[in-house]
A and B are shown apart, each in its own frame.
Chain A
Amino acid sequence: MKKLYIFCLAVSGLAACKPKLEPEKPEAGQLQLSRYLAVGSSFTAGFSDGTLTKTGQNFSFPNMLAEQFGLVGGGEFKQPLLPGDNGYPNPKLVLAARRGPCDTNTSITAVRYTGALDSSNSSNSVAIGGPYNNTGIPGIRAVDYIKSGYASEPSGNRFARRFFANLGARPIDEVTRVNSTFFSLWIGSEDVLGYATGGGKESAIQLSGVTEFAAAYDSVVTNLVKKGAKGVAMNIPDITSMPFFTTIPGKFVNLTRRQADDLNATNTMTFVRFNEGANYPVIQDGADLRLLVEGEMVLLSLPMDSVKCAGWGTKKPIPGNYVLTLAEIAAAQKATDDFNVIINTVNKAKNIATVDMFGYFKTIQSGVAFNGISYNANFINGSFFSLDGIHPSARGYALVANAIIREINLFYGAKISSVDANKFPGVKFP
């Protein structure tokens, strides 16, 4: 035995006796991943912090998936990258220590980036570099995929316009220019989100009709699988699992005794009596003025300066586009449920894998831990969501990618390795 030690020490040094351990080799199973196509909306594009940036595109879940696929035969993954990092078309949200005009204390809040903006080239067409593997188009609804001229001027989707070779084409024909062997499909969220983020019935975008949605979704999937590609498709998360809708509590108007008395003395809205402490705000609901009721949602887009300086919620009603009433919430949730039934049914019929993102976002809400970080649906501090409260952070997208990989592995008998979320940046504090 001693001879063995001496041999080990003398001949090869301690290094030779270091532990030998190799990870299990990833395998594609029955999948052919040489041409991966990502189809979808803002989640697929890599939208984060309220905008699209080059970095966000590089941290999109399809790009992360493509990197993992690269270990098992995946090919080149082209994205219609933006030239800059400050946001297109809006500046990105960043955390800053700010004091609002009516605040006495500074607090850390999400504000639009105020530095120099990216070059105007952001809106230039990059179609010449296509076709692209990541065809995520922020804002696109499932029902838009079968509309001719979706990207055309003047009202067309500016993200689509950036990389569509034929602006007049139906999006489904344009995005399938990559003749894929495998695809990911995550559409339908915008069919609900446009309505919900715009304040429900006050929004410029209304909920898609169920029949219209069913026809569009079926057409999209049919187009994607017609040449034999396999795929994975995600369903629609519930709006109530996103901090954009859940961060501001119903009773967010906090008053001192004195403030409450003053308001009550001068108030012309006789149905309101303010109390010391937490109060429901006054809202505009259609033609009516009324108090918010429990279960209704105040959106994160509510300008807090107006609340503090202009008396929104106390002296003036909060406009309906910052509030989801019980009826609006119910409508959004019913649409989500209806669309998800369609998504699941079509996916099953076409034999593609379905990732239950509705369920996964709920899981995030109750909290998960991955590689030493705990994630939940809290705004700013929950790690999963970016500063817009709807789209994941880079690390959040990594978790999304892992949820998709788990389902791919299960459905197709593959062994694709998971994404290390810790490689990606978290929320940055000033």
Chain B
Amino acid sequence: MKKHVLIATTLALSSAMSYGAGYQLNLQGLRQIAMGGSGTAVPWDMSTIFYNPGGMTAMDHWQIYAGAAFVTPHTKYVESTGTYEAETQSQTFVPFSIYAGGPTSWRSPVSIGVGIYTPFGNGVKWDDNWRGRYVSQEANLHTVFIQPTVSYKFSEVVSAGIGLIYATGRMELRRAVPIADENNVDSRVELAGNGHGFGFNAGVHINASEKVQVGFNFRSKVNMDVDRGYASFTVPQSLQTAFPYTAFSSSLPMPMVTSLGVGYAVNECLTLQGDINIVGWSAFDNLDINYENNTPQLQDQSSVRNYRNTVSVRVGGHYTVSDRVAVMAGAAYDPTPVRDGYVTPELPDANRGILSAGLTYKPFERWTVMGALEFASSVNRQSSFDEGGFSGRYKTNAFVPAIGASFDF
């Protein structure tokens, strides 16, 4: 029984995403989405609170900004040789971002603002009876970061900003447990908990020349600590005392991201920009679940994740068509942090390519509405989750339409 349960719950909190590499979302600004997710160098609008707080002083007025993306990932699993295939159920997730900020007074070197955004998250839902049901049936992670931010303009060339991050989130996992009742119905476990953590986001913005801007940003790791999640087991009657309804604690790292970006104004209309992001995924080395009520059958668990750091590359172009209209396009390469042997159906991750485009339109002087569309596709990965003895091939595609609007004061 012990082993049974070990496997049943060890795999529990391996997180939940199938869109960005790892469980990162790069959807915090409309123009940036449209430009492959790049945005560290050029402060296009108040979304720079996320991409580079140092760029906030480039805005000489207050702005409120809101956007949302509609992520509909599709993952397909096939066995390596044979006929079996399974697809995730269609679900749409809506990561959003809201920013408000501006100078403390007219021509002040100090700008303040706040950003509320969802940098990590998403979810996977497989059919309840699929082959991998003892590894995962459903997994969800939602996070919201709240970031009050201040930025200071040291000179016409250099600005720097820093924001504190308060992160709150929720994780939910559900899967079958290979203990059957007399009617051969599987047992199951559901884990759900709210977590929170703290971090910071700091950036420097440099106007290197008339044409060149450089940005450097560091967003710290945030440990999402789940202090009192609840685990609920549905098991045959004779085992109910062995699997009590119990609280659990766990922790999931939201990795640090170091970004370096360059923007180049080709001419008055066209700006090209590019980013390199170093993501500190190696922070996700183990996943531990500590149950408050242990029984001989229900022990605490530790599962090795062994993620590796990644470097992603993002490029984009912004073309101003007229006073009212601008168009954008971009591309990115986002490699996976998940090593071979650790690929779970909760996070069927693989290196992925991204293509994107978008447009902005100013119907009125102070209003801007924005739309973007992104397509992400992973390589077809032959992979295994050795701890659970689960292997096969996965491929994920996601379409991400996004809309947003900003208002300038």
Which of A's residues lie within 8 Å of B, judged by CB? 1-2, 5, 9, 14, 17-26, 71, 95, 97, 108, 367-374, 376, 378, 380-383, 415-418, 420, 422-423, 425-430
Contacts and interface: CB of A to CB of B under 8 A. Distances in A.
B135 to A, nearest CB: 4
Interface in B192-238: 235-238
A416 B131 CA distance: 18
A371 B238 contact: no
18 contacts: A1-B357, A19-B377, A19-B378, A19-B396, A95-B238, A368-B389, A369-B7, A369-B386, A370-B389, A371-B134, A372-B7, A372-B389, A383-B3, A417-B82, A426-B178, A427-B180, A429-B239, A430-B236
B375 interface: yes
A420 to B, nearest CB: 5
Contact of A371 (B72, B131, B394): B131
B386 to A, nearest CB: 8
9 smallest CB-CB distances across A and B, nearest first, come from: A417-B82, A372-B134, A369-B389, A429-B236, A19-B395, A374-B7, A372-B135, A23-B78, A381-B1
Given A14-B72, A369-B387, A429 B179 contact: yes
Contacts of A373: 4, 7, 134, 178, 389
- Find the residue from B75, B81, B179, B396 having the highest chain A CB count within 10 A: B81
Contacts of B1: 380-381
Given A5-B399, A19-B397, A367-B3, 8 more contacts: A22-B78, A97-B238, A108-B239, A372-B133, A372-B390, A374-B6, A415-B81, A423-B131
Nearest to B387: A369
B164 to A, nearest CB: 38
B396 A422 contact: no
Contacts of B75: 19
B178 A23 contact: no
A133 B34 CA distance: 62
Contacts of B87: 18
Interface in B290-322: none
B340 interface: no
A323 B209 CA distance: 90
Given A372-B133, A372-B390, A430-B237, A21 B84 contact: no
Given A21-B76, A429-B181, A374 B397 contact: no
A414 B255 CA distance: 44
A66 B375 CA distance: 43
A18 B395 CA distance: 9
Nearest to A430: B238
Contacts of A95: 238
Contact of B76 (A9, A19, A423): A19
Given A372-B11, A429-B236, A24 B134 contact: no
A400 to B, nearest CB: 15
A131 B229 CA distance: 60
Contacts of B237: 430
A428 B238 contact: no
B393 interface: yes
Given A5-B375, A429-B236, A23 B357 contact: no
A17 B79 CA distance: 21
B329 A71 contact: no
Given A5-B357, A372-B178, A374-B4, A425 B81 contact: no
Nearest to A414: B81
A371 B81 contact: no
Nearest to B357: A2
Contacts of A422: 131, 133-134, 178
Contacts of A423: 131
Nearest to A106: B238
Contacts of B388: 369, 371-372
Contact of B380 (A1, A17, A21, A372): A21
Given A422-B134, A429-B182, A381 B81 contact: no
B335 interface: no
A378 B4 CA distance: 10
Contacts, number: 156
Given A19-B76, A21-B85, A425-B180, A420 B131 contact: yes
A328 to B, nearest CB: 30
Contacts of A368: 389
B355 interface: yes
Nearest to B135: A372
Contacts of B181: 428-430
Contacts of A367: 3
Nearest to B178: A373
- Find the residue from B134, B373, B394 having the highest chain A CB count within 10 A: B134
Nearest to A374: B7
Given A17-B397, A381-B3, A381-B4, A23 B132 contact: no
Nearest to B175: A372
A18 B175 CA distance: 25
Contacts of A415: 81
A372 B5 CA distance: 11
- Find the residue from A26, A108, A381, A429 having the highest chain B CB count within 10 A: A429
A19 B7 contact: no
B83 interface: yes
Contacts of B132: 371-372
Contacts of B81: 23-26, 415-418
A378 B3 contact: yes
- Find the residue from A372, A417, A425 having the highest chain B CB count within 10 A: A372
B82 A418 contact: yes
- Find the residue from B1, B3, B180, B395 having the highest chain A CB count within 10 A: B3
Nearest to B78: A23
A81 B87 CA distance: 36
B79 A383 contact: no
B184 interface: yes
B80 interface: yes
B107 interface: no
A420 B4 contact: no
B69 to A, nearest CB: 15
B11 to A, nearest CB: 7
Contacts of A5: 357, 373, 375, 399
Contacts of B11: 372
Contact of A18 (B7, B74, B375, B394): B74
Nearest to B7: A374
B83 A428 contact: no
Nearest to A380: B1
Contacts of B184: 425, 428
B2 interface: yes
A311 to B, nearest CB: 29
Contacts of A1: 329, 355, 357
A376 B389 CA distance: 13
B35 to A, nearest CB: 12
Nearest to B187: A429
Nearest to A25: B81
Interface string B149-178: 000000000000000000000000001001
Nearest to A15: B74
B78 to A, nearest CB: 4
B92 to A, nearest CB: 10
Interface string B380-409: 100000111110011111010000000000
